[in-house]
Structure 1
Amino acid sequence: MGGTNQSSVSELLLLGLSRQPQQQQLLFLLFLIMYLVTVLGNLLIILAIGTDSHLHTPMYFFLSNLSFVDVCFSSTTVPKVLANHILRSQAISFSGCLTQMYFLCVFADMDNFLLAVMAYDRYVAICHPLHYTTKMTHQLCALLVVGSWVVASLNALLHTLLMARLSFCADNTIPHFFCDITPLLKLSCSDTHLNELMILTEGAVIMVTPFVCILISYIHITSAVLRVSSTQGRWRAFSTCSSHLAVVGLFYGTIISLYFNPSSHSAGSDMAAAMMYTVVTPMLNPFIYSLRNRDLKEALRRPFAMKYLSTQ
């Protein structure tokens, strides 16, 4: 068998979240609504940041990139779920499955990296406010985002190539609503120890390193804020980080628990956690940032206010 893919499976079946017809109808409507809200909410964030010169700062530059990634992340899985329901088909080609897995890894890693970059941005803004403009230059911001894309793409390519070398001999049903690494490994009839080893080593480093950077950033931020004498000043400093902290908790609370031990999870818990970080989190991010950010709320409200005034 060597390193070649001896798979006789050319097509895989995604069983989805439920086999009950009534539940499928409800889930289709739920997925459709969440996807539309995700796309609309994140595109509004991108539009507001792009059109408002007051928001052309590093923090909002990273936020617009996060919104773009969230749209792509959700678009990797949800349209296929909706199409399979409409077409009454559960099939996905083997190559299509690997492609979906590749882009899932890319966008999951990008979410991970961007959250760490945004934490570093808040660290510089709060702990070194006088040097913020000299430290967070346009070149550094662009380098951080481009570097994140490069590392995320290489990491996803590694796991996709490792998956492509496995054999899938008989069973072609995936008890999931998209092609994720864990259910595919359980489906393989060849040795998956190398794949699992890479998830627990290289994959863990990719996940843990940004998380550690976030923790270190917030340790310094907390220390700096506690040195502020006024209660109002402390509250103002913490409020600038509250949205980011909420998104960090939501993202890492599901994805780390899902991937740190790929052999021991049930299909049900895997799907619930996967739905949280691929569908729910990208949908909630625009609400978290817009509701907790006065500048962003003003930028989102301004086009509608101008349109209303022009009709008067």
Structure 2
Amino acid sequence: MFWSCADGPCRPFHELGGPEVLRIEDIDVAGPGSGEVQIRVKALGLNRAEALIRSGTYIETPPLPSGLGLEAAGIVEAVGEGVEDFAPGDAVSVVPPPSMVRWPAYGELASFPARLVVRHPPSLGFEAAAAVWMPYLTAYGALIDIAGLRREDFVVITAASSSVGLAAIEIANRVGATGIAVTRTSAKKQALTEFGAAHVIASAEEDLEARLREIVGPAGVRVVFDAVGGPVFEPLTAAMSRGGTLIEYGGLSPEPTPFPLFAVLSKSLTLRGYLVHEIVADPARLTAAKSFVLDGLADGSLRPVIARTFPFEKIVEAHRFLESNEQFGKVVVTV
């Protein structure tokens, strides 16, 4: 039994709460709408945003019952009116839609706008393909599209063992920049080093500002890619270069985030909020991002990392693991 969509979104949860509110239902399935592609889903990539919307703490407020999910890979089942670039049988993956309530991925069948459907490289299996687009588009948009990361740059990457953090490390390496991975404890330091981070800092065990200054010297860090917020803002901005940019794409810290006024003023820093929807909503920027990611997948410089795979009937356990912070990379569910 699977979630599927008919005359509206899928409905995997009827109340807000923890992973236990998720349920599996049989629902009649409607075909794709005009300009849409319907996919028989083979794998799902889980994201922190799905846990947040399920618990009622996301930027999008779901009407209940609601759908869920941002990433999927599978086989084209049917195409809607006006779709010419895809045909039944094509192996595809999905760029995260602007609303998971409107276009939820969790289900045996799911429909998405054709412009958000991609033929991924044949070398990728469905599990890996489901782990591509949210991490790499998020990291690309921040580091390449916005910050214009260069070979001579140092870039600080917090929450470095997340799928987005790992994608950011790979992208930094691909353009020749020096990635400084920040993780909470030393438990994942070795894995991050082996993955390719030039430097790794355990923020709960080391003086973050002092270590950054030791690594980068007096010039400071030009780019910070942060998913945490909270008190870490102060040591991060203290170690930044004049004219540097801090891009904030999350808010994992439960503590208030101070505004580092004097660092911002004295160094003319830019603190910028960012969501991947910026890239997805702009056709030209999305085309450039797809090309960068597909080229990286083809040449092997970008390789999705799967932390653990769960079967669909274990979706509750998958969400519990997602929220455990134990993963190194993407949590994937096979359908």
Q: Would the TM-score normalized by the shorter structure come out above 0.5?
A: no
Instruction: Give the TM-score taking structure 1 as reference length.
Output: 0.26
TM-score (normalised: structure 2): 0.25
Q: Which has the higher strand share?
A: 2
Structure with bigger RCO (C-alpha 8 Å, 6+ apart) = 1
Rg (Cα) greater in structure: 1
